[in-house]
């Protein structure tokens, strides 16, 4: 798609954007009475998306595409999605299969400023549109470096991939992050660098930027093996990292990025304990019907109802946990493949729409009742990306489709051309706005 076509599509989808007028600084997001508020205004309930690649489109690298970024942000705003979950940056060397690139932290404490400036610009673009981002700082999985990369830097051995290692080997290796003091200290240094950064565009510290919804410790943090010493070190690592972030930036919320009880090796008590930490502001959960074997790629339609039933049960259990803790809950990752396990842009999404609609219904119900279930970020936004028909997996030079490099491009992507899904999201955002407005 040409730059002109991208801009025209963004314009066609756009509503009038509400700019921040009169130089007045918007308030910071916070939790009040177990709900999300912006300053003193609220409560808010939202549908957003995952857009891990957003800052790369604003970078000074080969990945830059500022026209696409502007058009996509305008279109998201028009649909009603103003909360984006975004990767701060990947870790380690470029050119590694299954890892997204270009990476931000090339070696411990060594950053590519051409990548970092993309995050600066991305936050500025969000601020122009009164949008906000959840910024996650680490990853339990290899697709952005994460636990495995820090362990490699700590001398444990070359980072493992779920493609090359069996599951037991992968868990044994990555479980060591929770107990490896050197790996955790290098990550703490990374936290200090990012959270204390001064935006090169505005000249203001990130801590003063209202476009940040929350800092997130990790994408899907896990201790991987249910052993007492690993579990305890894992919990203490989350506590200490949350406290570190708050000591640098007391203005913004902190979240874990947890999948929920499944991300705590099935231990709901551990999930609750983690989120009772006073420096962690809200609970998160993820739901993956395909990855968790609730559906099979060969029988998506036949298995759909089972996926919905299991999803209903998982959401209900985590709402109960959030009520116990007294904090909001966000379903910040979930996805469903295209019909027939197809990847190509334009193929049907009938099953996905039904699955999404069921998840949205839970959020609408919570908004109607003033409940703690407060937000949804679906995985993932493909926007205006054009797929390379010769590549099933991402390769350098391809558009970012939302799915990370180790997955089939288009597997979970929601493109702006997926009109039925976009219309479903738009309608739910409108209804959420009406329901939340009635509570104020």
What confidence score (pLDDT) does residue 435 get? 78
Give residue 434's pLDDT band: very low, low, confident or very high (50, 70, 90): confident
Q: Are strands 373-378 and 105-107 parallel, antiparallel or unpaired?
A: unpaired
Specify the pLDDT at position 38: 97
Q: Residue 257 — pLDDT band, cuts 50, 70, 90?
A: very high
Q: Are 57 and 118 in contact (CB under 8 A)?
A: yes
d(CA 379, CA 52): 10
Work out the percent of the chain whose per-residue pLDDT is above 70: 93
Residue 10 has a pLDDT of 46
Contact of 417 with 345, CB cutoff 8 Å: yes
Confidence of residue 125 (pLDDT cuts 50, 70, 90): very high
pLDDT given at position 302: 98
Measured at the CA of 139, the angle between CA 134 and CA 142, to 5 degrees, comes to 140
How many degrees, rounded to 5, is the angle at CA 357 between CA 353 and CA 361? 175
* Of the candidate ranges 5-19, 169-183, 247-261, 355-369, the one whose mean pLDDT is the lowest: 5-19
Q: Which residue has the tokens 């705590």?
A: 264
pLDDT at 402: 97
Mean pLDDT across 56-62: 98
Task: Work out the end-to-end distance of the chain between its first and last CA atoms, rounded to an integer number of angstroms.
Answer: 43
The per-residue pLDDT of the chain, averaged, comes to: 94
- The angle that helices 419-439 and 350-369 make with each other, rounded to 10 degrees, is 0
The Cα–Cα gap between 371 and 228 comes to 34
Q: How confident is the model at residue 188 (pLDDT cuts 50, 70, 90)?
A: very high
Q: Mean pLDDT, to the nearest integer, of 140-146? A: 97
- With CA atoms as reference, report the closest residue to 56 among 36, 72, 45, 39: 72
> Which pLDDT tens digit goes with each residue over 94-110?
999 889 999 999 999 99
* Residue 321 to residue 183: CA distance in whole angstroms: 31
Model confidence over 371-412: pLDDT tens digits? 999 999 999 999 999 999 999 999 999 999 999 998 999 999
pLDDT of residue 270: 98
pLDDT band for 130, please (50, 70, 90 cuts).
very high
Q: Residue 179 pLDDT > 50, yes or no?
A: yes
Residue 267: pLDDT over 50: yes
The answer, yes or no, to whether residue 7 has pLDDT greater than 50, is no
Q: Which of 413, 329, 339 is nearest to 36 (CA)?
A: 329
What does the pLDDT average to over 39-59? 97
For residues 348-354, give the mean pLDDT: 98
- pLDDT value for 18: 35
Higher-pLDDT residue of 8 and 332 is 332
pLDDT at position 16 is 34
Mean pLDDT of 59-77: 98
Tell me the pLDDT tens digit for each residue of 295-340: 999 999 999 999 999 999 999 999 999 999 999 999 999 999 999 9
pLDDT in tens, 221-243: 999 999 999 999 999 999 999 99
**What local confidence, expressed as pLDDT, does residue 95 receive?**
94
Task: Give pLDDT, residue 163.
Answer: 84
Q: Can you tell me which residue has the tokens 């590519």?
A: 112
Question: Stretch 172-178: mean pLDDT, rounded?
Answer: 98
- pLDDT confidence of residue 26: 60
């Amino acid at each position: 798609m040409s730059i002109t076509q991208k801009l025209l599509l963004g314009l066609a989808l756009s509503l009038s954007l509400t700019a921040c007028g009169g130089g007045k600084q918007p308030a910071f997001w916070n939790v009040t009475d177990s709900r999300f508020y912006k300053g003193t205004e609220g409560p808010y309930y939202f549908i957003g998306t995952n857009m891990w690649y957003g800052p790369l489109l604003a970078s000074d690298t080969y990945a830059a595409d500022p026209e696409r970024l502007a058009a996509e942000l305008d279109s998201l705003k028009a649909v009603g999605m103003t909360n984006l979950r975004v990767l701060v940056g990947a870790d380690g060397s470029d050119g590694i299969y299954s890892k997204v690139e270009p990476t931000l932290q090339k070696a411990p404490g060594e950053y590519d400023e051409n990548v970092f400036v993309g995050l600066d610009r991305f936050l500025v673009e969000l601020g122009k549109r009164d949008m906000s981002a959840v910024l996650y700082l680490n990853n339990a999985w290899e697709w952005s470096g994460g636990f495995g990369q820090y362990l490699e830097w700590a001398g444990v051995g070359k980072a493992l991939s779920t493609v090359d290692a069996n599951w037991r080997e992968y868990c044994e290796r990555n479980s060591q992050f929770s107990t490896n003091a050197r790996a955790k200290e290098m990550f703490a240094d990374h936290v200090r660098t990012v959270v204390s950064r001064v935006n090169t565009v505005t000249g203001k510290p990130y801590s003063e930027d209202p476009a940040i919804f929350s800092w997130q410790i990790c994408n899907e943090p896990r201790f991987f093996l249910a052993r007492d010493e690993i579990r305890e070190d894992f919990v203490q690592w989350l506590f200490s990292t949350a406290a570190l972030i708050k000591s640098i930036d007391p203005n913004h919320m902190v979240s874990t990025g947890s999948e929920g009880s499944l991300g705590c090796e099935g231990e709901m008590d551990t999930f609750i304990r983690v989120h009772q930490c006073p420096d962690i502001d809200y609970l998160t959960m993820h739901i993956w019907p395909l990855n968790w074997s609730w559906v099979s790629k060969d029988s998506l339609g036949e298995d759909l109802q089972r996926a919905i039933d299991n999803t209903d049960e998982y959401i209900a259990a985590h709402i109960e946990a959030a009520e116990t803790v007294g904090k909001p809950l966000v379903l910040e990752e979930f996805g469903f493949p295209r019909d027939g396990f197809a990847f190509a842009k334009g193929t049907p999404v009938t099953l996905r729409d039904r699955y999404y609609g069921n998840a949205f219904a839970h959020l609408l119900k919570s908004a109607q009742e003033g409940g703690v279930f407060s937000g949804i970020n679906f995985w993932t936004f493909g926007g205006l990306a054009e797929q390379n028909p010769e590549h099933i997996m991402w390769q350098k030079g391809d558009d970012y489709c939302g799915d990370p490099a180790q997955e089939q491009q288009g597997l979970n992507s929601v493109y702006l051309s997926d009109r039925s899904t976009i219309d479903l999201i738009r309608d739910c955002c409108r209804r959420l706005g009406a329901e939340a407005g009635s509570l104020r």
